[in-house]
Amino acid sequence: MNFTSNNWLRAFSKLTVLSTLFLIFAGALVKSHEVGLSVPDWPTTYGKQMFAFPLSDMVGGIFYEHGHRIVATIVGFLMMVQAIWLGFSYESKWLKKLGYIALGTVIIQGLFGGITVLFFLPPPVSIIHGILAQTFFIMTIVLAYGLSIERKNRIEKECPKGLQKGAIIIGSAIYIQLILGALMRHTGSGMAIPDFPTMGGVWIPTFSDNMIHNINAMLFDLNFDMVSRNQVMIHFIHRFGAAVVTGAIGYYVFRYHSFLQQHQLPIKTLWLMVIIVIVQVTLGAATVLSERSPYIASFHVVTGALLLGSCTLFILRTNPVKWMDWKIR
């Protein structure tokens, strides 16, 4: 069996993508259940080596936090194997370099996860930890696409520059929206506006003292912590970002649907994005209406990652195969 075969490496790269997506979900469960300090030491777990910790003791918050660490370690190991495998393969130098960069990113990601615990969940570190997770996910998709048969056999077709640039703009908007989501989650702003689709009982927020008072009255009735004006604004910006991303994707479909009908894979990816964004908006509303149910909130996070991943794939399928041929201007 030739393990330098592209077929094996190609399959392994897809496994890494799926494992990373599951890791994002596992991390979201930790935050959604607010159990980030249920295991107070790192890199050990209650003084034991990670894989020596008894399964019988994985109860309550320890199940989510320790489970997240195990999944993260497995993903790191898979990325290390992939990077070494790429190094011994006959693939392009850029793929090998990206493999090493991705490996470095996941190592840094793990260190930030440890720092988060050791310094008692400081929001800036937790936010960076979340952003790195999404960035690493993008890298795994680019690696998998770079190794794919689709890319190697792809016949270049002329695409409107607006279509190509539009895809990149939407991808950037989704990435920024996920950063805003991480900011909201790690600043305790997830329920800063506890009603939907209204905001503090109104359709157009004023962020006045009266509005903040009304919101805190609602939160008091729901037995949630009071919030500040800044938290309300962070939550609102995230909602506004969701509307912008949804509108941009809708306009993009309207503008380029006819042209993309001639391109099977890009049009399928675009429709996948449409389905995911509808699910994502629904989950966002459900997160608020369910008073931030842990599983709904976690699926909201992982669906956001899916949207980012599908848009990354769409960008790769609509822009030239070679980066040097991209004209982003």
Question: Are residues 140 and 163 located together in one domain of the fold?
Answer: no
291-320, pLDDT tens digit by residue? Answer: 899 999 999 999 999 999 999 999 998 877
Per-residue pLDDT averaged across 60-74, rounded?
Answer: 94
pLDDT at res. 2: 47
Indicate if 30 and 119 belong to the same structural domain: yes
Instruction: Lowest mean pLDDT of 106-115, 130-139, 152-161, 210-219, name the range.
Output: 152-161
- Please give the pLDDT value at position 3: 46
Shared domain for 20 and 130, answered yes or no, is yes
In this structure, the answer to whether residues 223 and 306 fall within a common structural domain is yes
The confidence score (pLDDT) of residue 4 equals 47
Q: Specify the amino acid at residue 158.
A: E
pLDDT at 323: 63
Same domain, 119 and 204: no
Q: Which of 121, 153, 185 is the last residue of a domain?
A: 153
In this prediction, residue 5 carries a pLDDT of: 62
Structure tokens at 207: 């962020």
**Would you state the pLDDT for residue 96?**
94
Domain count, the chain: 2
Q: What percent of the chain has pLDDT over 70?
A: 94
pTM of the model: 0.91
pLDDT digits (tens, 9 = 90+) for 175-185: 999 999 999 99
* Contact indicator for 308, 174 with CB cutoff of 8 Å: yes
Question: 124: which 2 tokens?
Answer: 């800036």
Higher pLDDT, 156 or 197: 197
Contact predicate 125/119, CB 8 Å: yes
Predicted pLDDT of residue 156? 66
- CB neighbours of 212 closer than 8 A, spacing ≥ 6? 200, 227, 228, 229, 232
| Statement to judge: residues 223 and 245 lie in one domain | yes
φ/ψ of 45, rounded to 5, equals: -120, 105
- Mean pLDDT over each residue of the chain, to the nearest integer: 90
Find where tokens 């190592």 sit.
107
Same domain, 146 and 164: no
Query: Where among 107, 127, 153 does a domain terminate?
Result: 153
Examine the domain organization and report whether 63 and 178 are in the same domain.
no
SS3 199: strand
Q: In this structure, are 131 and 166 located in the same domain?
A: no
Q: Are residues 87 and 210 in the same domain?
A: no
Contact call for residues 259 and 160 (beta carbons, < 8 A): yes
Q: In this structure, are residues 105 and 131 in contact, taking their beta carbons and an 8 Å threshold? A: no
**Residue 137 sits in which domain range?**
1-153
Structural domain ending residue among the three candidates 131, 153, 175: 153
* Residue-wise pLDDT tens digits, 202-250: 898 889 989 999 999 999 998 999 999 999 999 999 999 999 999 999 9
Q: Mark whether 209 and 243 lie in a shared domain.
A: yes
pLDDT digits (tens, 9 = 90+) for 4-51: 468 899 999 999 999 999 999 999 999 999 998 999 999 999 999 989
Same domain, 129 and 263: no
In this predicted structure, what is the pLDDT of residue 326? 61
Q: Where residue 327 falls among pLDDT bands split at 50, 70, 90?
A: low
